[in-house]
């Protein structure tokens, strides 16, 4: 098998949670589809997923839309049943969904309700969707799970970036992303013998209409001199999903323009 063949995802079935989302999800779905996988994009809005899937189908890709609420374990169960019923198996699971409504404000701004919202999706939901699809991966003796973490699961927020802005980096975000990274390592240790690899990708800051003062500080600090954009995740996703990385598990791949090397 040539090295380019190893990157191919032909005949693989992949699921991306929040796979039509503007932050990370859509680029992840596109990358897997472009590499030849059959891709399912799933999030709360079935309509938005259907529209995005149709756009990629027009480009010749095999993309399908399903619905899931990552905060609802019954919804996760229905998604798992639908995927297996329609496709027979799952080869690649990308956990990209985030309970964004709960990540609001600094520690003193948080309420118990905020924290509970975060826990229902980014803790309980992550565990449940992973557990549901792991069962089938164990039976088939193969699988790749990729969790989308963050630089802020590795290092703390730099408060100087947010001076004179309305941006308030939430400690709940750093908490769940750091936990996701070590959760991935634990799964890698326990399920490697079943042919299942579990890795993380930790993106740097995503360009998303931030205030100019924030953008200036961020780009001055990061070695490559810019924030992360859509296409920057594609190579990392395909690499970890494919046979190009068959001896890699338990890793947290930093896609951060060098932010964490300083």
pLDDT at residue 45 in the model? 94
- Does the residue 66 lie in any domain? yes
Distance CA 110, CA 4 (A): 48
183, burial (CB in 10 Å: exposed 0-12, middle 13-18, buried 19+): buried
Contact yes or no for 244/6 (Cβ under 8 A): yes
DSSP conformational letter for 256 = S
Number of domains in the chain: 1
Number of other residues whose CB lies within 10 A of the CB of residue 51:
12
- Does the residue 230 lie in any domain? yes
Task: Tell me how far the alpha carbon of residue 229 is from its chain's centroid.
Answer: 15
- Does the residue 259 lie in any domain? no
Mean pLDDT of 154-173: 92
- Does the residue 262 lie in any domain? no
- Does the residue 261 lie in any domain? no
CATH number for the domain harbouring residue 62? 3.40.50.720
Kindly state the helix (H) or strand (E) to which residue 138 belongs, with its residue range. Answer: helix 126-140
Mean pLDDT of 239-256: 98
Q: Who has greater pLDDT, 24 or 181? A: 181
- Does the residue 44 lie in any domain? yes
Mean pLDDT of 254-261: 98
pLDDT at residue 68 in the model? 97
Mean pLDDT of 200-227: 96
| Structure token pair of residue 243 | 């046979």
DSSP conformational letter for 225 = S
Distance CA 236, CA 44 (A): 26
Distance CA 187, CA 240 (A): 15
Among residues 94, 83, 114, 132, the alpha carbon closest in space to that of 17 is found at: 94
- pLDDT higher than threshold 90 for residue 228: yes
| Structure token pair of residue 123 | 């803790």
32, burial (CB in 10 Å: exposed 0-12, middle 13-18, buried 19+): buried
Distances (CA, A) of 194 to 10, 63, 112, 187, 237: 22, 28, 39, 11, 21
Distance CA 135, CA 106 (A): 38
Q: Which residue range forms the structural domain that includes residue 8?
A: 3-254
- Does the residue 47 lie in any domain? yes
Mean pLDDT of 209-230: 96
pLDDT at residue 102 in the model? 67
- Does the residue 260 lie in any domain? no
Spatial strand order of the sheet with 63-67 comes to 63-67, 38-43, 13-17, 92-95, 143-148, 196-203, 252-255
* pLDDT tens digits along 94-150: 999 988 666 878 888 888 888 888 888 999 999 999 999 999 999 999 999 999 999
- The total number of residues shown for the chain amounts to 262
Catalytic residue positions?
173
DSSP conformational letter for 205 = P
Report the share of the chain in percent with pLDDT over 70: 99
């Amino acid at each position: 098998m040539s090295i380019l063949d190893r990157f191919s995802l032909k005949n693989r079935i992949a699921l991306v949670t929040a796979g039509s989302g503007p932050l990370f999800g859509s680029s992840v779905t596109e990358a897997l589809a472009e590499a030849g996988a059959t891709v399912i994009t799933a999030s709360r809005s079935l309509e938005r997923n259907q529209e995005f899937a149709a756009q990629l189908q027009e480009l010749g890709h095999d993309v399908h839309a399903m619905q899931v609420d990552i905060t609802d374990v019954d919804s996760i169960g229905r998604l798992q049943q639908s995927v297996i019923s329609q496709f027979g198996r799952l080869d690649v699971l990308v956990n990209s969904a985030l309970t964004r409504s709960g990540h609001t404000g600094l520690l003193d701004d948080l309420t118990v309700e905020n924290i509970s919202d975060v826990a229902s999706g980014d803790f309980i939901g992550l565990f449940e969707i992973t557990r549901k699809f792991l069962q089938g991966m164990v039976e088939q003796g193969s699988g790749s799970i990729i969790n989308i973490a963050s630089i802020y699961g590795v290092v703390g927020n730099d408060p100087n970036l947010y001076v004179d802005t309305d941006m308030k980096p939430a400690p709940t975000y750093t908490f769940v992303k750091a936990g996701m990274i070590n959760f991935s390592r634990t799964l890698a240790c326990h399920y490697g013998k079943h042919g299942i690899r579990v890795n993380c990708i930790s993106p740097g800051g995503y360009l998303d209409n931030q205030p100019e003062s924030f953008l200036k500080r961020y780009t001055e600090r990061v070695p490559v001199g810019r924030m992360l954009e859509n296409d920057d995740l594609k190579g990392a996703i395909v690499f970890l999903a494919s046979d190009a990385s068959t001896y890699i598990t338990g890793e947290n791949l930093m896609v951060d323009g060098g932010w964490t090397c300083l």
